Amino acid sequence: MFKRQLLYKFAALFFMENIKVSIITIGDELLIGQVIDTNSAWMAQQLNEIGAWVHRRVAVGDVENEIWQALDDENAASDVILITGGLGPTADDITKPLLCKYFGGKMVMHEETLEHVTYLFGHVFKRPMPLLDSNRKQAEVPDVATVLKNYVGTAPGMLFEKNGKIFISMPGVPHEMKFIMEKHVLPLLKQRFALPYIGHRTLLTVGIGESFLAERIKNFESSLPQNIRLAYLPNYGMVRLRLTAQGEKESTEKKLDEVFSILKNEVKDVLAVDEDIPFEILLGRFLKEKNKTVTTAESCTGGYIAHLITSVAGSSDYFKGSVVSYDNSIKENVLHVSNETLASVGAVSEETVKQMLKGVLNVMRTDYAVAVSGIMGPGGGSEEKPVGTVWMAVGNVERVETKKMHFRFDRKRNIELTSVNALYLLCMFVKNDS
């Protein structure tokens, strides 16, 4: 029996296929920054979970020869090419006729898709007028394509094969792409290929720079097994370390756990969390474990910390509300920051955030709170308090901790970094509070 199990494991390893996947996203809006490409990130995550490695991600505009060149390039580089975008009913959506030409087909009406489009416009969208020609064209497909039904939109997915390579075209609308990926693409790849297991372990360090961290763990990194890779993912004041390995699931998981345990010990004094989760989720866990509540008093972040906390399902169990005290009158009249403090040391000061914290605890009647005040830019700074200066406080009615930070980015980035760092400070306070 034992020999048979070993044989099965050996056979599984022998027949595993390390396929390469390319993602091509199409649209001028992606290249000019009008739309952020979230499709590729989501697709890569889903592919990684089934053992398919994304080899390249390419964005091209709505230009025929550039799309054609991208198809040629990725055909030469990868086993599977996934394409999103350019399947709409307007003149700038050129992907479908181009694919028809690329694979040597002709356009035909797909009756089942036409019925679906007709149903959508008549019964779901409730359009009173007859179908436009452009709507009917949504149901036209190259006769060399296998149609992948799209029940949540009008443009079907299309599968092509050429010289042993798989090409799949999907709409760029995220929820339609996700439907086709989950319904058709991922099951197809799992059926067609003997994919390896890909495992990850991620931890987050705080208070140490990437280069100093790399120097500290260089011996650990040099001793890693050949099939395990270490990646550094730095942020301001924080560095994520990710271990990645692939192979047979059971042995890969076991080896990853062993190596991850060593890594955690190497960085234990700067370790914030040994999971790849954001601080708002970690905070929620700590608060639920302690059956405690939290609130925020925000000036420079304008409610962004509260937004992060409430983005977590179930946060109503521990989050009561927030005071966005953007103007000093709100700091004074709602949070009872003294006029003398504001006049003498200003809104961006340790004394102010301490009083904001005490004020919001009193107003909201919660167990914990966080308060922030700063200068996000691009204007408003001074020699004494340049743009990016932030004071933050966390605590409860018995104890308060404060921290001063300096960020050097644009307004949006400064707000995000202030919020993330404030949440980390709050997480550690709640975690260590007895």
Domains of the chain: 17-192 (3.40.980.10), 197-273 (3.30.70.2860), 279-432 (3.90.950.20)
Residue 388, judged by CB atoms within 10 A of its CB (0-12, 13-18, 19+), counts as buried
**Angle 411-432/279-290 helices, nearest 10 degrees?**
30
Longest alpha-carbon distance in the chain: 81
Question: What pTM did the predictor assign?
Answer: 0.75
pLDDT tens over the chain, length 434 residues: 444 444 434 434 444 578 999 999 999 999 999 999 999 999 999 999 999 989 999 999 999 999 999 999 999 999 999 999 988 777 778 999 999 999 999 999 999 998 988 888 887 777 777 778 888 888 999 999 999 999 998 899 999 999 899 999 999 999 999 999 999 999 999 999 999 899 999 999 998 989 999 999 999 999 999 989 999 999 877 899 999 998 889 999 999 999 999 999 999 999 999 999 999 999 999 999 999 999 999 999 999 999 999 999 999 999 999 999 999 999 999 999 999 999 999 999 999 999 999 999 999 999 999 999 999 999 999 999 999 999 999 999 999 999 999 999 999 999 999 999 999 999 999 999 98
What is the distance between the alpha carbons of residues 297 and 328, in angstroms, rounded to a whole number? 12
Q: How far is CA 302 from the centre of its chain?
A: 22
Closest CA to 48 of 253, 199, 242, 248: 199
Bridge partners (DSSP) of residue 109 are 140
What is the distance between the alpha carbons of residues 418 and 381, in angstroms, rounded to a whole number? 16
